[in-house]
């Protein structure tokens, strides 16, 4: 029986595409990386993280060192980041159904809590974060242990390939949020268990798990 639903943050709950784009381009100008246009996003959506770095001239090993600088620029735009369309209604349905809701993200906890406060959302019992982009599987296992849950009692909802891979590694089911950043070409290889094209499809889907 499903008891908890775990969410990615950026691209799944928060419509932070424009903020990411602006923050990245400021960082790119400083470090002489290739800037990204709105038009180029469609191409990047179908690429893996390593492929994106190669296209933009970013040494992959430098990603962890750029996260802190990126986060500071991101923080300056927090008040301008909207919820994804339909997410508020989705969260209301899931909370009313009695599921425990949590956010597991590579963003910073303080950013997420400010965002939740700005949007009047108090439905999440847990917010867990890691500065490591590829450590969500550790967060998932930590959440399971802290809440005495088995993998079959939890599902993760995220929009990126790495969300799917982390869920696979942790042994939990995963729903790809198709309204987010990664394109189907990239995600198909990772093999999500389920696909939700819009937030309104999530509640009916999880009710059958």
Q: Taking the model in full, what pTM does it have?
A: 0.87
Angle, CA of 20, 26 and 28, to the nearest 5°? 95
Per-residue pLDDT of the chain (209 residues; tens, 9 = 90+): 899 999 999 999 999 888 888 888 888 888 888 888 777 776 776 677 788 888 888 888 777 777 777 777 788 888 889 999 999 999 999 999 999 999 999 888 999 999 999 999 999 999 999 877 667 999 999 999 999 999 999 999 999 888 999 999 999 999 999 998 877 777 888 889 999 999 999 999 999 98
Closest by CA position to 81, among listed 73, 90, 69, 92: 73
- For 133, half-sphere exposure in the C-beta direction (CA atoms, 13 angstrom radius) is 17
Contact 113/139 with Cβ under 8 angstroms? no
Closest by CA position to 157, among listed 200, 110, 131, 192: 192
Instruction: Using the structure block, give the residue that is written with the tokens 């990603």.
Output: 63
């Amino acid at each position: 029986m499903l008891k908890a639903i775990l969410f990615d943050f950026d691209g799944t709950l928060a419509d932070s595409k424009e903020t990411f784009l602006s923050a990245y381009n400021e960082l790119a100008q400083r470090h002489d990386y290739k800037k990204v246009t709105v038009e180029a996003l469609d191409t990047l959506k179908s690429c893996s993280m390593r492929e994106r770095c190669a296209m933009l001239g970013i040494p992959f090993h430098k990603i962890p060192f750029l996260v802190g600088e990126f986060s500071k620029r991101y923080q300056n735009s927090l008040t301008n980041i909207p919820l994804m369309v339909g997410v508020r209604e989705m969260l209301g349905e899931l909370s009313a159904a009695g599921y425990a809701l949590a956010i597991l993200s590579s963003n910073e906890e303080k950013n997420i809590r400010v965002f939740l406060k700005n949007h009047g959302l108090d439905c999440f019992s847990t917010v867990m974060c890691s500065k490591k982009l590829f450590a969500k599987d550790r967060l998932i296992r930590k959440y399971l242990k802290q809440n005495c849950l088995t993998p079959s009692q939890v599902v993760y909802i995220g929009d990126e390939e790495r969300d799917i891979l982390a869920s696979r590694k942790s042994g939990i089911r995963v729903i790809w949020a198709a309204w987010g950043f990664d394109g189907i070409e990239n995600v198909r290889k990772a093999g999500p268990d389920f696909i939700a094209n819009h937030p309104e499809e999530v509640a009916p889907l999880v009710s059958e798990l």
